[in-house]
Amino acid sequence: MTTFPPVPVTRPRLAVLAREKLPCSARAVPRTQLIKEKDDIDHYLEKNFKGLSKEEVAAHRNSYKKSICVDMLRNGYHKSFTELFTLAEQWDALRHAAEVRSLFWRQRPLEEQPDKLDNFYHYLTRAEAAERKRYYEEVYNNLYALACYFDNSEDKWVRNHFYERCFNIAKLIKADGGKKEAEAQAHMGLLFEEEGELLEAAQHYEAFHELTQGRIWKNETGQFLNLLACESLVRTYKLLSDRMLENKEYKQAIKILIKASEIAKEGSDRNMEGEAALCLGSAHLAAGEYETALRVLRRYSEIATSMGDDLNLGRAYEAIAKVLQSQGKMTEAIGYLEKAVKIARNNFQSLDVIRACTMLGDIYNEKGQYSEASEYFQQAFSASVELMKMALMDETKVHYGIARAHQMMLTMTDYIETADIDSLNCLLSWKESRTQIKYDPILGKAKRSTVSYSQQLEQLSMSVLTTTHFKGKHL
């Protein structure tokens, strides 16, 4: 959003006089005191400044907002007065409603913010004067300046009001080939996107994209409007597809993501094209279309490789591994996941390490290779400890505990089935000391670890028994 320099406001005489008594007091003043102060001011002015005009007396009596409104009416800006008065009423209504919801709401009344009143007066009156002469581009510029001025968290609703006014005025501008209309469509798309109304946002972004096709228009920061249109439309399509996938509307999600991929290619932004391919491949996976998902995701990995983008390449390998795992091709999935772990470690991406290691642990756990599963779950847990995220730590240590329990259960089963003297002695020894034991099938005897099993579980801050507190986790 453009940031404008401070407004060189030329204030009328009444506004100048009224501003001299600012800032207004924030405390509540009793009505009796106000009446007494008014009488005192009248007496003082009559006694010492008999030459003061009615305007000057009114400037001392009235609030700054009232002086601004009077100036607008006096100079013939009736539309500006009506708009300012309506916005001020809405301002007060929203402020009072927010005060009811929160005890910590401290937004000041409009009367106590003279700079905002100055901007209202300056730009609204200029816009109204230009509208009388049908200089619609100048009207647009003044309204857009107000929208930029109020682009902050507290006053966003004021910004949206002027976005809508800009949108209506932009339709009347014909001399620029539709550039202002394209910008207005982008602003309206942003307005609806922030409100979560994605279908309406997509309609405005589509109009923005259509108006900028084949144009070399740039915004104030030098960015091409067509590229911005592509980025906005792809982002909105992705958000829409997420909703559709949550509702299991796979065909609609795939359809809209195909459109996003085509628009991403048009924008000539390889990174955007790769992200669109990842989303599309994930949608095909959710729909059970594994071969199509593999084809799209391999395209994503090709884009990442051509750009030398290791981060996206690692994520491509992870996504491909998910598809292969769904197809039952565990060996190939393991190969891709090991590559993903290596890339994530080299780039210090702990979250990617956790995801890939957890997937590897799950695969090995399903295959009955509990030692390998335990090793990868331990790596995932260690990475979560580095991040100091309790939710991830809890999840990964449960996975780790389950894998260790499976590993111990397998060893115990082997000793029980062997049923010889050495196995019996090893089981009795374990029962007394609770140390971790490993069975060596070649030597045919037990090995005892130097670290007790209880000590290792202390490092995890949870024993295997605590898995019962986590729903959906089963030994």
- Residue 404: its pLDDT value, please? 82
Q: What is the mean pLDDT of the chain?
A: 81
- Residue 7: its pLDDT value, please? 56
Mean predicted confidence (pLDDT) in 395-405 = 86
- Residue 46: its pLDDT value, please? 58
Residue 421 confidence class, pLDDT cut points 50, 70, 90 = confident
Mean predicted confidence (pLDDT) in 222-251 = 93
- pTM of the full predicted structure? 0.74
- Residue 201: its pLDDT value, please? 96
Residue 168 identity (one-letter amino acid): N
- Give the β-pairing of 445-452 and 435-440: antiparallel
- Residue 455: its pLDDT value, please? 44
166-200: per-residue pLDDT in tens?
Answer: 999 999 998 889 999 999 999 999 999 999 999 99
- Residue 469: its pLDDT value, please? 40
Residue 466 confidence class, pLDDT cut points 50, 70, 90 = very low
312-368: per-residue pLDDT in tens?
Answer: 999 999 999 999 999 999 999 999 999 999 999 998 898 999 999 999 999 998 888
Which of the two residues, 258 and 387, has the higher pLDDT score? 258
Which of the two residues, 32 and 299, has the higher pLDDT score? 299
- Residue 109: its pLDDT value, please? 77
- Residue 28: its pLDDT value, please? 52
Residue 443 confidence class, pLDDT cut points 50, 70, 90 = very low
Range picked from 214-223, 255-264, 455-464 for highest mean pLDDT: 255-264
Q: Quick check: 442 pLDDT over 60?
A: no
Q: Quick check: 247 pLDDT over 60?
A: yes
Residue 440 confidence class, pLDDT cut points 50, 70, 90 = very low
Q: What percent of the chain has pLDDT over 90?
A: 47
Q: How many CA atoms lie within 13 A of 263 on its CB side?
A: 28
Q: CA-based angle 275:277:280, to the nearest 5?
A: 110
Q: Quick check: 59 pLDDT over 60?
A: no
3-state secondary structure the chain: CCCCCCCCCCCCHHHHHHHCCCCCCCCCCCHHHHHHHHHHHHHHHHHHCCCCCHHHHHHHHCCHHHHHHHHHHHCCCHHHHHHHHHHHHHHHHHHHHHHHHCCCCCCCCHHHCHHHHHHHHHHHHHHHHHHHCCCHHHHHHHHHHHHHHCCCCCCHHHHHHHHHHHHHHHCCCCCCCCHHHHHHHHHHHHHHHHCCCHHHHHHHHHHHHHHHCCCCCECCCCCEHHHHHHHHHHHHHHHHHHHHHHCCCHHHHHHHHHHHHHHHHHCCCHHHHHHHHHHHHHHHHHCCCHHHHHHHHHHHHHHHHHHCCHHHHHHHHHHHHHHHHHCCCHHHHHHHHHHHHHHHHHCCCHHHHHHHHHHHHHHHHHHCCHHHHHHHHHHHHHHHHHHCCHHHHHHHHHHHHHHHHHHHHHHHHHHHHHCCHHHHHHHHHHHHHCEEEEEECCCCEEEEEEEEHHHHHHHHCCCHHHHHHCCCCCC
- Residue 439: its pLDDT value, please? 43
Q: Quick check: 53 pLDDT over 80?
A: no
191-233: per-residue pLDDT in tens?
Answer: 999 999 999 999 999 999 999 998 899 888 888 999 999 999 9
- Residue 454: its pLDDT value, please? 41
89-146: per-residue pLDDT in tens?
Answer: 888 888 777 666 655 556 677 888 888 989 999 999 999 999 999 999 999 999 999 9
Query: Of 9-23, 28-42, 370-384, which gets the smallest average pLDDT?
Result: 9-23
Q: Quick check: 400 pLDDT over 90?
A: no
- Residue 143: its pLDDT value, please? 96
Residue 21 confidence class, pLDDT cut points 50, 70, 90 = low
Burial 310-326 (b: 16+ CB within 10 A, else e): bebbbbbbbbbbbbbbe
Beta-carbon contacts of residue 397 (< 8 Å; ≥ 6 apart) = 381, 460, 461, 462
Residue 471 confidence class, pLDDT cut points 50, 70, 90 = very low
Q: Quick check: 419 pLDDT over 80?
A: no
